[in-house]
Amino acid sequence: MTRRTFLGSSLALALPSFGASREWRLGINTYCLRFERWNDRQLFDYCVKQKLDAIFLQDSIDPGLMDPKHWAEVRAWSRDTGLHIETGGGGILPKSVDLIPKSVATLSKNIERAAAMGSPIVRALLAGDRYSMPDAGPVNYTEH
């Protein structure tokens, strides 16, 4: 790809196409602010101050992280500030087969948390290579 085709493609994506409009939200992944050690309210306030449209709460250190009352507060902050919210949890790939139920429980809790906060997605970290996968033994693809 040449610079000319790259710029042409970028320009085509930036222009609305024949009356169709898109809403592009500008937001921040709070992981990039982890060194500040802010709670969720401070992160929301920062995003409002920066006039952002969205917040991705990643790896929150808020004391209320797993408290359903806090989830309701976060949802209210999102609604009151007009910030689109997305969130999730940490890694869910177990190191051994016997840890799979714990990973499923963690993912289920993160789904519950995200839904309560108003997040349309749940971020989850998975390993990208087969060496990180637990040894499940041989797989028979003919069984249902």
For 95-133, what is each residue's pLDDT tens digit?
A: 778 888 988 899 999 999 999 999 999 998 876 555 555
DSSP designation for 53: S
CB 30 within 8 Å of CB 45: no
What topology is assigned to 23-127 in CATH? Answer: TIM Barrel (3.20.20)
d(CA 110, CA 102): 12
Two structure tokens written together for 109: 């809790």
Structure tokens that stand for 44 in this block? 């929301």
Give the pTM.
0.72
Tell me which H or E stretch contains 27.
Answer: strand 27-29
